[in-house]
Amino acid sequence: MSSLKRYFLTLNFFAPKPDDNEEETDEQRRWNIIATRIYMLLLLLILFGVGLDFSLIDRTITVTVEKPSKEQLDALPKDAKCLCSQISIPYGKFTSLQANFHSLCTSQFITDRWIKAINSGSHTTSFFLGDFRTFGSAQFQALSAFCRLSTSNINQSIDYFYSNTLLSLEVFNEEILHAQTQASISQFQLKVADTFQTQLRLINFLTINNGLISSLRTNAFYLLRRDSQNLFSVSLYNLWYSQDDGSTCGCRVNICNRSLSGIFSAFRATSPIEAGSLLLSIPGISSGCLPVTSILVSSLECFYNQTCIDQLLLYFPTNERFQAIPVYPQSIYNPESTIQTIVNNLMIENWTIEISYEKYYSECAPSSCTYLQIARYSVGFIIKRLISLLAGLVLILGLLISLVLKVIHRLKDRTPIPKISLSLRLRNLQNLVLKQLMHLNLFQHYPSSERQIRYQCYATRVYLIYMIISVIVLAFYSLMIKTNQSKTIINPTETQYIELERLHLQSLSCPCSSISIPYSRFLTIQPEYHQVCSSDLVSDEWIKYFAVSTSNRSVLSDDFKSNADSQFQLLSMFCKQSKEIIANALELFLQTKFFSLQIIPPESFQVETNSFFQNWKRTTTKTYLTTIQLFETAIQNNQLSNNLNFGMRVDPIFGQPSMGSIIYSDCSCGRSVTCHSLANLYTYDANLTEYVKVYSIPNFFNGCFHITSLLLSTLECFYNISCMLQIHRYANPTVSFNFSALDPRLSLVNETVAVLVEKSMVDQWLVNVSFTSYYDICAPSSCTYQYEDRDNLLIVITTIVGIFGGLSLGLKLLIIIGLQFIDKIIAIRVDGRVSSRFIKSIFGCTTEHQVIHRLHFMLVAVTLSVIYYFAGVTSRIITVRIDKPSLYAYEELLKKSSDSLHCACSQISIPHQEFLKVTSRFHEICSSEFISDEWISYLYGDINPIYRYEYTDFFYTASKQFQILVTFCQLSKKTVENALLQFDSTDLIQADLLSFNSLDAYIQQTMIDLRRTMPKLYANTLALIRETIGANKLLSSLFNNWELSFAASDMYGTTAFFSSPKEYNHCSCATSSKCISPSHGMFAGCYTLETILQTPIQCLYNQTCIDPSNTFRAINSSSLLSSQFSLNSTFQSIVNELMLEQLMMDVSYEKYFNACAPLSCTQSYLVEYSIIEGIAMLIDLYGGMFIICRLLSIFIVKQVLCFKSKVRAIND
């Protein structure tokens, strides 16, 4: 310790060199030792200060975790971005849904056994209209249909939900995944239930307002009058009901469904309104105009009670026994719950939902996670910086302190200085500087020859020039170079965010504190309905105005007065249902959660929200319109009776009832269900004893069905008060007229009602999207963005000093070696023996000085080699940016790294039609002869087939069945065309450019979704319409489901027609609407629509089957090779797919790229250190490592020599 202490006490870095020929005085030695101590202290203080400064600097670093496990993910910060390797994950991969239905749907009361047990067969209409035996079987057929349709809808919707994809660019944490998935499930549950109940309500109103007649005689019945001259007259009597609230309700234009039900004594009475005495009251069951509407307001109270069931069965001719529905305490319903309440929930009791985060995570399979971390510099980085700084500091401090010492020595020099002028001083100083520069020798050693000194001076000049240039270049580069920096703004305001978004759109990240936001919080939607919906034309007073003028009606089919109340009631229904449907759908839509992990820029937010709104509007309008279109198709093609298309008549000779086709403008409803004519006003001319036409309502029609004629009509007459007064003059002049006309300034006068219905009776939508409200709810707690900026000044200075020190020592070493090499070369020329001595001196280790040099060299070489090796295998992330890249440039970038490539589109919303063209191909039937007018006429013949064939014969309804195919082909093509037009007008919303593969995957998935969703609504709506028609037992004017008769004993007076069900293959149309029997390779059945849908298509491919006369050719069976349907497919399976075979796509990626027009592309990828960067790093570290290794070498050698000397002394 004493020797070490003595060493430090006498340590002198500034003593004169041996070859300086200077003597160091005691005074100089004292000052030099003090300067050495100051030098050491300053060096340590500066290094400590720099190290401390670095350790206190906060910086944002990007941390990347490759293929993180779920446990690692849980430990990461919430703002970590973990990119999924699969961004589109079907919900079915990680969710499980199961609906548990009401116990009714698993009970005996929806089985055929129960329905047949309570069916009264041919006596069904022999009872009072409120007698359960009249409509009970039909009501439970409706319940069975509700269960069946609910199960089908739910299973279908679950499958659809499973196939829907969760777009997950980044992995969600468990809380967010559960929240988003649960919101999607809730939305799907509400939407399915709302669609079903909306359609059912609309269908019920359409049934009532189209005057369709139930075969059960519950809403209307035909009344036969036979006078003494044996002349028959038949009229239709619309029934009225006494409601349970004491009011009366008429079935002509109202849904009457709250009347008493039970078992009554009346049987085969002359009118269904004769009740007799009440024999049994049935708790919960209501009666009304139609079985479907009356069962909806009923409850199953009686059927939870075994006694009630047993008593009820006593009034039916059956020995069957049935068990009551069990009561479950955990049920959300009670025995008094109405069927409407249960149906509103699609008969569902509860849901079993499972969401597996583990399965989601395995599907997402994040390839990496990156997050920004605010951290201080690591110890390794600080040590590296201090090492690189050491050599520069040693040189600079040594130089500065040497200068200070010279000044001190000069100040202490008492030698008098002669006084000279300032100009002379400056000249002397100039000469001195030039002389010093000329003779400056940084590489002088003792002894040196003149030649050596000359070379040393040359080397000094090279050294200085190189160092000056290097430092200038390095300083300029370090000050000018920009690196990626990041900054975080805490609780940014909206103004701050918008400014940040403008400047740093691509790198800005602002996580929302509330990621789930209901649309109602930032979106308001207000539909403005067509003025007719708030006009007098849909008021009760206007409808009653025509209803009270029955005495002034003619019997002519085109009399405006005869149907005006029904048509305006139907128009009113369109308005009311549209408002109700939109209100319900809007409520659901506004409850929908908008998920936003990050704040969305204002423009993108507006576009995205508007896209959601447009999609909702299309879906809502489509549901409304599809229901109306398919209902119209079903009632037309089933030729349901409503006293407008066919009139009842009785053969005066045989007394047999039959239906006579009504004519509209020389068009028979028997041949075409779309017949219509102008609605006219008539007045009775007593002289002519007939009705005379006095006025025609402009473009307002009567026809076979109210809905058909109304949709074809315009309201132009009702924009003109003069026209309305003309109606008043001939319709009901005795009543005051207080009605106003529509305003022609607000709407198009010649717009048809069909056009209004297509728009859901809405003129315009007022939509307001508030980004401010959205921002306030999202409330980002912080915003982080990246930007390019110059490095911290401390880093710049330490970098310059570090590289300066390394370059200085390294260059000095190279120059010294070079000078020595030159000396040896010259010496070798003079004396050849010098060569061997030179070689020996290189590898010799005889003296302590040589050993230190060799060890020093080895330590520096090994240390730098190890550092270079580890730097070479270490990768780092670099980010490049290309402004406005071409398609070729983008494809080249894509080849390097597709995962990290991001190109911001200048247009984030791109219409599909700009880069995608979709065409459709339909089933061969829709282009065959079998949907031609010639084929239909060929089947119909010259005489109505119902007069030539039995009802069980296919040809009885053959022309009607193929008319249905014509309609379905037309409707399918129109539906697909509209869907494709809507798809073309929708936008692909994407802030970043999609690669070709990503765009192709998006389009393929979109087409799959489109192909799946287009027929879904269509098929489900058609199924619901078919079931309601069947359950309501609507009478076909073809008499192929029910036939009318009257008691033969009623020879005179007035009596009501009874109706009896027909049978097909021992299947009664009273218990099933789907009864069919084979005939000529096709089928006959209760309803034409049901019959053709159940028919296989194979007959159309068989010439012998379809037309043995070869007048029309069968479809070539080779077309089946390119069809998705087989020969055994039924027409229903084809109709359920919208008759669609294929959607064909033509995608232009180039057009998509040009439409996106990326502003810039950024790409980050891993690169290894280049050779140049490695050399620069070695230079940076060389100076410090040189000094450290030198000290370490001296220490090691001294310790070894000391140890050897001690061992030698002991041995001696």
- CA dist., res. 875 & res. 403, Å (int): 45
| Burial label, 996 (beta-carbon count in 10 A; 0-12, 13-18, 19+) | middle
The band of 902, judged by pLDDT with boundaries at 50, 70 and 90, is confident
Q: Which residues pair with 598 in a beta bridge?
A: 511
Return the pLDDT at 686.
Answer: 75
Q: Is the pLDDT of residue 620 over 70?
A: yes
Domain ranges of the chain: 1-78+373-414, 87-364, 484-519+775-788, 918-986+1076-1147
- CA dist., res. 260 & res. 254, Å (int): 17
Extended beta strands in 895-997, E state? 901-905, 909-911, 916-922, 987-989
In this structure, the number of other CB atoms found within 10 A of the CB of residue 1203 comes to: 10
Percentage of the chain beyond pLDDT 90 is 36
In this structure, the number of other CB atoms found within 10 A of the CB of residue 506 comes to: 16
Question: What value does the mean pLDDT of the chain take?
Answer: 83
DSSP code string of 719-745: G-HHHHHHHHHHH-TTS--------TT
- CA dist., res. 802 & res. 1183, Å (int): 8
Contacts of 462 (CB under 8 A, 6+ apart): 815
Q: Is the pLDDT of residue 770 over 90?
A: yes
Q: Is the pLDDT of residue 1102 over 80?
A: yes
- Kindly state the average pLDDT of the residues 1106-1116: 90
Q: Is the pLDDT of residue 1169 over 80?
A: no
Q: Is the pLDDT of residue 1184 over 70?
A: no
Return the pLDDT at 419.
Answer: 67
Q: Which of the two residues, 34 and 356, has the higher pLDDT score? A: 356
Q: Is the pLDDT of residue 3 over 80?
A: no
| Burial label, 337 (beta-carbon count in 10 A; 0-12, 13-18, 19+) | middle
Return the pLDDT at 47.
Answer: 74
- CA dist., res. 367 & res. 344, Å (int): 45
Q: Which of 154-158, 301-305, 600-604 has the highest mean pLDDT?
A: 301-305
- CA dist., res. 722 & res. 711, Å (int): 23
- Kindly state the average pLDDT of the residues 837-863: 67
Closest by CA to 1086, choosing from 1036, 1146, 1143, is 1036
- Buried-exposed string 1081-1098: b where 16+ CB fall within 10 A, e elsewhere: ebbbbbbbbbbbbebbbb
Return the pLDDT at 1174.
Answer: 62
- Kindly state the average pLDDT of the residues 637-663: 80
Return the pLDDT at 48.
Answer: 80
Q: Is the pLDDT of residue 789 over 90?
A: no
Contacts of 875 (CB under 8 A, 6+ apart): 1166, 1167, 1168
- Taking each helix axis from N to C terminus, what angle separates 996-1031 and 1149-1156, rounded to the nearest 10 degrees? 100
Q: Which of the two residues, 998 and 78, has the higher pLDDT score? A: 998
- CA dist., res. 237 & res. 216, Å (int): 13
Range scoring the smallest mean pLDDT among 300-304, 500-504, 806-810, 1165-1169 = 1165-1169
Q: Is the pLDDT of residue 411 over 80?
A: no
Summarize pLDDT for 961-1017 with one digit per residue, the tens.
Answer: 999 999 999 999 999 998 888 888 788 877 788 888 888 888 888 888 888 888 888
Return the pLDDT at 551.
Answer: 47
pTM of the model as a whole:
0.79
Return the pLDDT at 504.
Answer: 80
Closest by CA to 189, choosing from 149, 148, 160, 157, is 157
- Kindly state the average pLDDT of the residues 1117-1136: 91
Q: Is the pLDDT of residue 1203 over 80?
A: no
Report the relative pairing of strands 1058-1061 and 1042-1045 from DSSP bridges: antiparallel
Q: Is the pLDDT of residue 418 over 70?
A: no
- Kindly state the average pLDDT of the residues 729-752: 89
Q: Which of 275-284, 363-372, 1166-1175 has the highest mean pLDDT?
A: 275-284
Range scoring the smallest mean pLDDT among 671-675, 756-760, 1045-1049, 1132-1136 = 1045-1049
Summarize pLDDT for 1080-1101 with one digit per residue, the tens.
Answer: 999 999 999 999 999 999 999 9
The band of 757, judged by pLDDT with boundaries at 50, 70 and 90, is very high
Q: Which of 275-279, 783-787, 882-886 has the highest mean pLDDT?
A: 275-279
| H or E stretch covering 564 | helix 560-591
The 3-state secondary structure of 57-108 reads CEEEEEEEEECCCHHHHHHCCCCCEEECCCCEEEHHHCEEEEEEECHHHHCH
Q: Is the pLDDT of residue 847 over 90?
A: no
Q: Is the pLDDT of residue 107 over 60?
A: yes
The band of 661, judged by pLDDT with boundaries at 50, 70 and 90, is confident
End-to-end CA distance of the chain: 24
For 1079, phi then psi, to 5°, come to: -165, 120
- Kindly state the average pLDDT of the residues 653-664: 77
In this structure, the number of other CB atoms found within 10 A of the CB of residue 829 comes to: 10
Summarize pLDDT for 131-190 with one digit per residue, the tens.
Answer: 999 999 999 999 999 999 999 999 988 988 888 888 777 888 888 889 889 988 988 888
Q: Which of the two residues, 975 and 9, has the higher pLDDT score? A: 975
The band of 924, judged by pLDDT with boundaries at 50, 70 and 90, is very high
Q: Is the pLDDT of residue 588 over 70?
A: yes
- CA dist., res. 904 & res. 1002, Å (int): 18
| Burial label, 998 (beta-carbon count in 10 A; 0-12, 13-18, 19+) | middle
For 831-953, where are the alpha helices, taking DSSP H only?
Answer: 833-843, 848-873, 887-896, 933-940
Q: Is the pLDDT of residue 664 over 50?
A: yes
Q: What angle do CA 1089, 1091, 1094 make, to 5 degrees?
A: 110
Contacts of 607 (CB under 8 A, 6+ apart): 908, 909, 987, 989
